[in-house]
């Protein structure tokens, strides 16, 4: 049997004062079937809509409710107390246009609603009472009232006293006083005695934790960029300003996937601007244990500059700030026990393009804007680039390796044109008009303080295309008789000449002659030949019967079949040797006069050694490089961490 609502009626009741109107009103109706019989004890479902302007107007507010009829089919509900579907009761513009109530019902308690039509809402006792109060408050006196009701209302309201521009509130059922709300016609405030004409809405929180708290609990209907529990927009100024003496100027908390505080700049202004005038923090971002502190997805960001030229630009001011600019512009510290898995500062580049992971430039340093001019090796593909007046890159370590250079590529031809790979590349040159120093060092190695010290250690072949100078020289091999426990050292042959030595053994024939064949390049490489002959196993005489000719020379003995040990030396005569002939005696460099290569052996202090003079200085004006004097407070743990004890460091010094 089809069930329909036959009749309905509305009763609007007032249960509050004129100062605070309730956001709901009573509604009563009777549910009957097609035969007119009441639907007694029936659970019914309803959908109620507040329409704007006409019975076919746009819904401003829609809600659903359920009700149970009595034995006469009567039910009572409060419109505004149901489950909102569209809008809120607060958002209904009651003062604009006529309003109509549309009722839809499902007698079975489901959602198959039947539209029963719409009726216009008329004035209710609450609204009439409010209008009477307003009229009475503006009357000349209570004596002019024409009805008892009006006279009574006028007597009550004319006794109200309060502060100018302060909105009143009921202190009790009959007394009215000041509220926290003020309105001077230009600005509105909460708990703010003196309103600023430059701020439209002002809140003074006092000792309460938050001045304004707004919670967005549902998915916004508009885009994320324009939706939020608090949305501030300005076409000429600042959308939201938060000022706090000791707590948070603006505090945004998000427990979902959107942002707690989002700042969007559509012009030339700032999306979020934080200012700390005391000892506080202008911006504090805590990503917790699983989130992110700061994420910049697009655009250039700057610290110390309003015009960044890269994804991140950090600039120190021209006038250094004590305790801040006495340290590096960027300081990275990683608190982890996982060693190489983490790092204080990590630099990487896109492997599909050539670039530099970390690029450091010091005083008179060289930028990589023109790689060919700087290094003449084509495009640069570098893990770390450091350039400075004192040291481009310095690495210090108390128990490991100061600097490690490693290249795992099978070919480096794309960047050098030579198919080479380099773990460490050292190059010293003067570029860009800088003053040329007296001495340059491509790579400088120094080691001290251990039982065995190596200024340089090479595992593999070493090639030197220039000259080499040394205090002494040996070859070092595993001892042939005890290779597991001993080394064998032999000194190099030392001579003021650039000498090559050739030797061997040969036996003369039955006529006492033997011809020694030297390498095919012997005469092309050498000049000024010298000979030594030693007879082995018998008393005999041996002479050089014929000098070197055609890379051969002839030996003659006064007896046949004599074994002779021979040696021939020659002075190098190749183009490089002729262009770089060894000078046996030379003057020391002007800046090194008075210093010794081996000061201790001359009974001189270490300060008189050339090593001490030329070694890169380990003391900076404001800190010790590689020492343990620098400390930095760890903001997260509150502990004091030692710095400068390991890793690579860019040193910039005049």
pLDDT for res 514? 98
Structure tokens at 474: 């040996």
Please give the residue that has the higher pLDDT: either 621 or 593.
593
Secondary structure E strands in 463-614: 474-478, 487-491, 499-507, 513-517, 526-536, 542-549, 552-557, 563-572
Please give the residue that has the higher pLDDT: either 275 or 418.
275
pLDDT category at 628 given cuts 50, 70, 90 is very low
Please give the residue that has the higher pLDDT: either 560 or 409.
560
Please give the residue that has the higher pLDDT: either 644 or 226.
226
Q: Contact, 562 vs 540, CB < 8 A?
A: yes
pLDDT for res 304? 86
* The pLDDT of residue 31 is above 60: yes
Please give the residue that has the higher pLDDT: either 381 or 457.
457
Q: Which domains does the chain have, with CATH numbers?
A: 3-122 (2.60.40), 221-295 (no CATH), 499-579 (2.60.40)
How many CB atoms sit inside 10 A of residue 70's CB? Answer: 13
Structure tokens at 253: 């908390």
Q: Report the pLDDT averaged over residues 119-136.
A: 56
Q: Is 529 helix (H, G, I), strand (E, B) or coil?
A: strand
pLDDT for res 311? 86
DSSP letter, residue 143: G
The lowest-confidence range among 147-161, 215-229, 437-451 is: 147-161
φ, ψ dihedrals at 375, nearest 5°: -125, -15
pLDDT category at 408 given cuts 50, 70, 90 is low
* Per-range mean pLDDT, top range of 236-245, 287-296, 349-358: 287-296
φ, ψ dihedrals at 62, nearest 5°: -130, 135
The residue whose two tokens read 């960047």 is 415
Q: Report d(CA 522, CA 519) in Å as an integer.
A: 5
**What pTM was estimated for this model as a whole?**
0.43
* The pLDDT of residue 136 is above 90: no
* The pLDDT of residue 583 is above 80: yes
pLDDT category at 466 given cuts 50, 70, 90 is confident
Q: Report d(CA 557, CA 229) in Å as an integer.
A: 112
The lowest-confidence range among 263-272, 337-346, 464-473, 606-615 is: 337-346
pLDDT for res 352? 64
Q: Report the pLDDT averaged over residues 479-499.
A: 84
pLDDT category at 553 given cuts 50, 70, 90 is very high
Q: Is 370 helix (H, G, I), strand (E, B) or coil?
A: coil
Using DSSP bridges, classify how beta strands 542-549 and 499-507 pair: parallel, antiparallel or unpaired: unpaired
pLDDT for res 409? 55
Using DSSP bridges, classify how beta strands 201-203 and 188-190 pair: parallel, antiparallel or unpaired: parallel
């Amino acid at each position: 049997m089809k069930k329909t609502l036959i009749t309905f009626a509305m009763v609007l009741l007032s249960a509050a004062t004129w100062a605070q109107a309730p956001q709901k009103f009573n509604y009563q109706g009777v549910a009957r079937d097609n035969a007119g019989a009441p639907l007694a004890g029936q659970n019914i479902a309803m959908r109620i809509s507040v329409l704007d302007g006409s019975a076919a107007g746009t819904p401003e507010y829609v809600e659903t409710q359920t009700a149970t009829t009595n034995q006469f089919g009567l039910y009572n509900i409060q419109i505004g107390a149901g489950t909102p579907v569209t809008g809120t009761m607060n958002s209904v513009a009651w003062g604009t246009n006529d309003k109509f109530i549309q009722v839809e019902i499902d007698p079975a308690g489901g959602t198959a609603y039947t539209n029963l039509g719409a009726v216009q809402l008329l004035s209710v006792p609450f609204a009439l009472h409010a209008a009477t109060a307003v009229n009475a408050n503006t009357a000349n006196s209570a004596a002019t009232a024409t009805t008892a009701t009006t006279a009574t209302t006028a007597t009550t309201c004319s006794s109200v006293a309060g502060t100018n521009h302060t909105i009143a509130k009921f202190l009790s059922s009959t007394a009215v006083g000041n509220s926290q709300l003020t309105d001077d016609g230009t600005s509105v405030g909460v708990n703010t005695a003196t309103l600023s004409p430059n701020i439209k809405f002002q809140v003074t929180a006092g000792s309460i934790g938050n001045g304004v708290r707004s919670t967005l609990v549902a998915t916004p209907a508009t885009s994320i960029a324009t939706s939020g529990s608090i949305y501030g927009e300005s076409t000429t100024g600042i959308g939201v300003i938060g000022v706090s003496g000791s707590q948070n100027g603006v505090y945004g908390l998000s427990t979902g996937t959107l942002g707690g505080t989002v700042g969007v700049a559509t012009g030339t202004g700032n999306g979020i601007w934080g200012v700390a005038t005391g000892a506080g923090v202008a911006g504090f971002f805590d990503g917790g244990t699983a989130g992110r502190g700061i994420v910049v997805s697009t655009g250039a960001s700057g610290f110390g500059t309003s015009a960044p030229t890269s994804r991140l630009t950090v600039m120190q001011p021209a006038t250094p700030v004590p305790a801040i600019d006495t340290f590096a512009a960027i300081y990275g510290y990683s608190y982890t026990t996982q060693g190489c898995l983490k790092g204080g500062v990590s630099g990487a580049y896109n492997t599909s393009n050539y670039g530099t992971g970390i690029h450091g430039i010091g005083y008179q340093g060289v930028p990589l804007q023109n790689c060919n001019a700087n290094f003449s090796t084509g495009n640069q593909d570098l893990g770390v680039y450091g350039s400075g007046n004192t040291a481009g890159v310095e690495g210090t370590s108390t128990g490991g390796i100061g600097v490690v250079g490693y290249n795992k590529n099978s070919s480096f031809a794309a960047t050098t044109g030579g198919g080479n790979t380099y773990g460490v590349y050292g190059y010293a040159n003067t570029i860009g008009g800088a003053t040329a120093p007296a001495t340059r060092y491509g790579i400088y190695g120094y080691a001290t303080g251990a039982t065995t010290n190596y200024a340089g250690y090479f595992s593999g072949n070493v090639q030197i295309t220039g000259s080499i100078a040394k205090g002494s020289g040996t070859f070092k091999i595993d001892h042939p008789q005890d290779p597991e426990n001993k080394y064998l050292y032999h000194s190099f042959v030392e001579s003021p000449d650039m000498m090559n030595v050739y030797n061997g053994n040969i036996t003369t024939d039955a006529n006492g002659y033997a011809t020694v064949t030297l390498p095919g390049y012997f005469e092309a490489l050498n000049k000024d030949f010298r000979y030594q002959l030693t007879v082995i196993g018998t008393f005999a005489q041996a002479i050089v019967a014929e000098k070197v000719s055609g890379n051969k020379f002839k030996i003659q003995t006064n007896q046949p079949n004599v074994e002779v040990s021979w040696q021939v030396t020659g002075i190098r005569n190749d183009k490089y040797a002729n262009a770089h002939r060894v000078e046996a005696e030379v003057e020391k460099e002007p800046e090194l006069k008075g210093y010794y290569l081996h000061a201790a052996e001359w009974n001189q202090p270490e300060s008189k050694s050339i090593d001490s003079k030329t070694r890169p200085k380990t003391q900076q004006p404001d800190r010790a490089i590689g020492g343990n004097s620098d400390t930095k407070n760890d903001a997260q743990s509150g502990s004091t961490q030692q710095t400068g004890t390991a890793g690579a460091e860019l040193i910039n010094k005049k």
